[in-house]
Chain A
């Protein structure tokens, strides 16, 4: 019996190739999206779940309750030590201080190799490796990084530095400051961890690497300074949080007592908490999950639409089978078998599709996802079962219930094969979703276009940034003079970072010797007297500061003035103290506001002042006509100035583009989901039109005999889908407006959602839908009425 079912199913599909192809394509697309989204979601949920006792592992973090609440994943460096020494709540507590973009030098005989390590180096206490599970494959497990001057490398890094040689005992030099001897090799990091450091060095060398103040400094937080703790099984988070409150009481005084708070963040929250430098908000995963479910369901719906439209054509077969003695449930199972066959083909196709798409998705997210075959097999099996019964049972039931005599005489009409309005509702739902996605895509594109072309308040074009690894005054002066002589160089400025940067320093503010410090911080932008000219920034009051090597005068921005509720003229000549009053100087000018972060963030109060010790960038405004030769000259001069360092350069506009990396990912996702939703929506529309065409064959024939021409008949279909699309639009427009309004809230500076966006969306949907409907309705309208009316 079963064999017979499948044989008949196969022949039926072979005969109705177009129908089979559309069903398979729709299902395959839906299931492929399901597989990919499942992989993506499980991948993110698996982050840092491989550690032992991961339910008891916490990261300490800092909260400031002042002018609003600020949070940092970093903590004052002494916090971890104090928690370990003064309390007995934890089994282990370990500090890890991360630095990024470090230079590693390796000397082998006369050969010197230099490496720029983007993921950087971590100064780590031994306890860290008891809390988190990063196993050693070589080295002494008991004495990991106990003595100063030791380093651990992952296999990958060891291979990169030393090739096939044994790395143990070799020396690496960090930032031309400190030497470390490799004493252990770590297993390569799994892709699903947020702890990306691959070079760990002894915590004991921190003092040597930075200045000593940090070890006992409770007043500042470096975001790379983290502390992890493994609580005892009996310890509650309430106890731990109480301990944190005690620490604050002991180490802070005055206003700080209210401002500073330390808290514990569970390990499984780290990946998802965007406030604390987490990667992905869980709400996005949920959104993805629902999109996946939606895509699979719509694919099933299309299948049902097409299958029932097809059912009328098969009424004769069903009638004959019934006359020959088939029972309803046998017919039902025959159609389930047919669905199963289509689903199996679709699943195979979907697996192929997702294998093809995975590298692209990994590239987009810069991740290393792999298919977890075990989990995926279970998932695919479940999905297949659900799909078969979801999409097979309805057409099966409908066909099985046909009255045999009516079926034989082709006297079945739409009331025998299920409601037309149900299909309409489904198509409206599909198109509402695709319009929401289309509107979303248009808005994201417009916003990104706006952020990349809007006036930033400074000039980002044709500015090259070179790193400054050493702040030797004589060297800096020579370098500047030599660069200035290169043809095509227009302006040169030393600065900490360009006006907009992801790397920022903030400090407390005291204005005009007021008794109390302001309740907000100021973003310091060290730069020399050419800073304004190089980046094309404008003064709105006062003057630029005079050339100097250290801070004698300040420039501030408009926001600073506004925060003080003053006029630009009023601050000129007043004193400004920063860095805990260690730097005090008069304000001599106010610059027009410029965007110092991305458009996601509000412009902060800013001061600009010369301070050669803080310079880490040489910004060169150049003429792009001779870019190639100029860049070559920069490299040559730079290498001569800093022979021990590794040369690199970056254009300012490229570095600003990086602010919008996540937005670009969102854009690509929105685009692909919009495209897939449209394709599936169109398949649904096609199903509906096929159904209509079958149902209206007789009507069209009659109308043509009565004198209707092709346009009249086409309008029969056009009227239907215009109505459905308009309803879908009316549902989608407010939804999309609401969703995108919320999305734009993430940008402090944003576009407004105008009617044009909605117009473009509905127009594009109409065009796509018209093309979909066009073919089927034209064939229907061209059909010869003699044929369609002959049957009776």
Chain B
């Protein structure tokens, strides 16, 4: 599904290159559930941002769904991204001024779905996550677990092939975290969504099919479960 070859990301500080990712190569197939682990500053989030096309590598080749991302123009990259990728954050990042329903609907608006289609799709999603009763509430009125649920529903609404999650359970208690992880596993197994998650927790990492350990911008180890 995606392939990173000799990817580096560095910041130039007074002539010295400060590497965040250092000549990193990685292949991920469709249907995989990858957990990325590593200590703070090892480059986990940067790697995820590059995979998610939110950031560009300083060097290296990036292929996604058969296309050379490093050669694409902004517009094409954006189209590719919209079609294939959903994002889940540690801090949920719901829009405070929009209701649950509207938050979930927003990606569809950016992909030019018609009003009636949007209604049907959002209703489906609300149903699936059992949050129909909360659709008119604002994020501030929900608990953390519920907010993350909405965040995931929003990430999935446009039926992405790849779900990227940056410490999705970091702000949740263990019970809520488990529920989210179960949901991820289900998505991976039943819907075939490829998932890449960044996590600090061994336990959560083991929900995946592969664990990659990063250290100082390089892959230290990779373990198939």
- Interface residues, chain A, with chain B CB atoms under 8 Å away: 413, 698-699, 701-703, 705-709, 712, 784-786, 789, 792
Contact = CB atoms under 8 A, between A and B. Distances in A.
A707 B110 contact: yes
B55 interface: yes
A701 B92 CA distance: 12
B72 to A, nearest CB: 15
B78 A701 contact: no
B110 A712 contact: yes
B93 A702 contact: yes
B215 interface: no
Contacts of A705: 54, 87, 93
Contacts of A699: 95-97
A698 B158 CA distance: 21
Q: Which 8 A-B pairs have the closest CB atoms?
A: A707-B110, A707-B82, A792-B91, A706-B107, A702-B93, A786-B54, A708-B110, A699-B95
Nearest to A785: B54
B81 interface: yes
A789 B89 contact: yes
A413 B87 CA distance: 24
B204 interface: no
A785 to B, nearest CB: 6
A709 B110 contact: yes
Main secondary structure of the interface of A (DSSP, over half): helix
A226 B84 CA distance: 92
Contacts of A792: 90-91
Nearest to A792: B91
Nearest to A705: B87
Contacts of A702: 93-95
A698 B93 contact: yes
A707 B93 contact: no
8 contacts: A702-B94, A703-B110, A706-B87, A706-B154, A707-B81, A707-B158, A784-B54, A784-B55
Given A413-B96, A786-B49, A792-B91, A703 B54 contact: no
A763 B82 CA distance: 36
Interface string B99-121: 00000001100110000000000
B82 A701 contact: no
Nearest to B79: A707
Contact of B78 (A413, A703, A707, A786): A707
Contacts of B55: 784, 786
Contacts of A712: 110
Contacts of B154: 706
Contacts of B111: 707
Contacts of B78: 707, 709
Interface in B20-47: none
B122 to A, nearest CB: 14
A204 to B, nearest CB: 88
A702 B96 CA distance: 11
Nearest to A700: B95
A565 B106 CA distance: 76
Contact of B93 (A413, A701, A708, A784): A701
B96 A706 contact: no
Interface of B: 49, 54-55, 78, 81-82, 87, 89-91, 93-97, 106-107, 110-111, 154, 158
Nearest to A708: B110
A413 B96 CA distance: 10
A701 B54 CA distance: 10
Contacts of A698: 93
Interface centre among A705, A707, A712, A792 (most CB of B within 10 A): A707
B91 to A, nearest CB: 4
A675 to B, nearest CB: 36
Given A701-B93, A706-B107, A707-B81, 9 more contacts: A698-B93, A699-B96, A702-B93, A703-B110, A705-B87, A707-B107, A707-B110, A709-B110, A792-B91
A786 to B, nearest CB: 5
Contacts of B90: 792
A712 B82 CA distance: 14
A375 B104 CA distance: 64
A708 B97 CA distance: 17
A51 B208 CA distance: 99
A281 B161 CA distance: 76
Contacts of B49: 786
A715 to B, nearest CB: 11
Nearest to A703: B106
A205 B106 CA distance: 94
Nearest to A699: B95
B97 A706 contact: no
A493 to B, nearest CB: 76
Contacts of A701: 93
A785 B87 CA distance: 12
Contacts of B54: 705, 784-786
Nearest to B95: A699
Nearest to B52: A705
A789 B110 contact: no
A701 B106 CA distance: 13
A420 to B, nearest CB: 11
Nearest to B90: A792
Contacts of B82: 707
A703 B95 contact: yes
Contacts of B89: 789
A706 B95 CA distance: 11
B91 A706 contact: no
A783 to B, nearest CB: 12
A698 B154 CA distance: 16
Contacts of A706: 87, 106-107, 110, 154
A780 to B, nearest CB: 15
Contacts of A703: 95, 106, 110
Contacts of A709: 78, 110
Nearest to A413: B96
A464 to B, nearest CB: 69
B33 to A, nearest CB: 21
A702 B107 CA distance: 10
A784 B97 CA distance: 21
Contacts of B106: 703, 706
A624 B1 CA distance: 85
A685 B107 CA distance: 30
B11 to A, nearest CB: 13
Contacts of B81: 707
A789 B93 contact: yes
A707 B96 CA distance: 18
A701 B93 CA distance: 9
Contacts of A785: 54
A698 B87 CA distance: 15
A126 to B, nearest CB: 82
A698 B89 CA distance: 13
B97 to A, nearest CB: 7
A563 B26 CA distance: 101
A77 to B, nearest CB: 80
Nearest to B154: A706
A703 B154 CA distance: 11
Nearest to B54: A786
A676 B171 CA distance: 51
B112 to A, nearest CB: 10
Nearest to A788: B93
B185 to A, nearest CB: 24
Nearest to B93: A702
A705 B92 CA distance: 12
Contacts of B107: 706-707
A622 B111 CA distance: 74
A312 to B, nearest CB: 14
B175 to A, nearest CB: 23
Contacts of B158: 707
A291 to B, nearest CB: 38
Contacts of A708: 110
Contacts of A789: 89, 91, 93
A706 B96 CA distance: 15
A413 B97 CA distance: 11
A581 B213 CA distance: 119
